[in-house]
Amino acid sequence: MNELQPTSRILRVPRGQPDQAALELEMIVIDEANRRLDEVRYVNPATSKELEGLFNEAANHAGKYMAWVEYEILKAKKLHEKNRSRVILGKAIEKAKELKDIGVKMNEDMRDALIAEDPDCESSLDILNSLTAVHKLLESTFWSFVRSTTACQNTAANKNSTPTPNLGGVVGRTFETPQANFMGKDERKG
C-alpha cells in the first residue's frame, strides 16, 4: 500500500440509544475497493481474480456493517416510538384540556406539532434519519461491489473479452471478410 494512503479510516455511526458510544466501522477495505472500481472497465483474465477477491471482501464488510446499522435502526425506531408515546399520552392530553377550555378541539395536526416540538422526539428522529442514511450508503456500496465482482467473474470466464489490436488497418474491420447486406448477399461480389 502507498505510504500516502491512510492505513485506517473509521466511520462513526450514532447508536439507536443515545447513551451508547458511537458504532465504529473500519472502512479501509471498502475505501481501497472504491478506489479500484474503475479497473473493472479494463480488467483482463490475469487481473480479474485479484480484483474479484478485493470486491468480494469489501462487499462482505459492507454487508456486515449493514446488518449492524439495521440493528441500530430498530433500536432507534423503538426509542422514537417511546418518545412519541410519552408526548401523546402526556403532553397531548394536557394540551387537549387547555384547548377545550378555550373552545378548540385537539386534532391530529396539533398532536403532530407537539411531537415535532418535543426535544426528545426531535433527537430520536435525527438519530433514526442518520442511521437510515448510513444504511442506504452501505447498501449502495454493497451492490456496487457485488456488480463489480460479477463483472470480474464474467471476464475470467470469457477470455475473449481481452481487447485485440486492429489487424486490418481499417477502423471497424480487423481483416477482409465477406460483407453481407441485410439480404445476406456479399455486396463486393456484384
Residue 184, pLDDT score: 54
Residue 7, pLDDT score: 76
Residue 1, pLDDT score: 46
Residue 160, pLDDT score: 57
Residue 45, pLDDT score: 84
Residue 102, pLDDT score: 86
Classify residue 172: in a domain, yes or no.
no
CA end-to-end span of the chain = 62
Classify residue 177: in a domain, yes or no.
no
Classify residue 72: in a domain, yes or no.
yes
Classify residue 164: in a domain, yes or no.
no
Number of Cβ within a 10 Å radius of residue 42: 10
Residue 183, pLDDT score: 54
Classify residue 103: in a domain, yes or no.
yes
187 is written with which cell numbers?
455486396
For residue 125, the enclosing domain spans 10-159
Residue 187, pLDDT score: 56
Classify residue 136: in a domain, yes or no.
yes
Mean pLDDT in consecutive groups of 10 residues from the start of the chain, 190 residues: 67 93 95 94 87 95 97 97 92 83 84 90 96 97 95 77 52 52 55
- Which residue reads 457485488 in cell numbers? 146
Residue 134, pLDDT score: 97
Do 14 and 131 touch, CB atoms closer than 8 A? yes
Classify residue 182: in a domain, yes or no.
no
Classify residue 22: in a domain, yes or no.
yes
* Number of domains, the chain: 1
For Cα atoms 107, 111, 116, give the angle at the middle one, nearest 5 degrees. Answer: 145
Instruction: DSSP letter for 22, please.
Output: P
